[in-house]
Amino acid sequence: MFPRYLFCRFDTAVHFRAVRYGSDVTSIVSFGDRPAVVSDVLVQELKDWAGDELDLISADQDFHPGETVQVVVGPLQGLRATILHAKNDRERVTVLLSLLENPVQMVIARSKISKCG
């Protein structure tokens, strides 16, 4: 119904830059200088209409060193990693992955990982 659009809930005072300058984001739908707001009722109606075919990603995850996470987007999807550094950058974290039985340290967007349940 809305190709290439993503509906997300975030506090603009805290997460505007992280959302606006996120990977593959072109812009935020706005009216003047204010982001457009979609009512919770409409979002629920869209979820009901779409059924179970939804991809939901939480951007409010707070990561801590030593935590195990899983890559949820991209060519490394499905791999587990350990958080090494999660401060000083709201958009990225440093993780330690095991690739081909070798530890590899890399920086990855927070939006591309999720905490392991």
Q: CA 95, CA 104: separation in Å to the nearest integer?
A: 8
pLDDT tens per residue across span 46-59: 777 666 555 555 45
How far is the CA of 117 from the CAs of 48, 67, 69, in angstroms? 25, 11, 9
Q: Taking 90 as the threshold, does the pLDDT of residue 81 lie above it?
A: yes
Which single residue is written with the structure tokens 């791999």? 79
pLDDT in tens, 4-46: 777 788 888 888 888 888 877 888 888 888 888 888 888 777 7
Helices (H), the chain: 12-20, 40-50
pLDDT of residue 69: 92
Q: What was the pLDDT predicted at 8? A: 81
pLDDT for 85: 86
> Which domains, ranges and CATH numbers included, belong to the chain?
1-56 (no CATH), 68-115 (2.30.30.30)
Per-residue pLDDT, averaged over 59-65, amounts to 73
| Residue 113 neighbours by CB under 8 Å, 6+ apart | 61, 63, 69, 70, 71, 72, 81, 93, 95
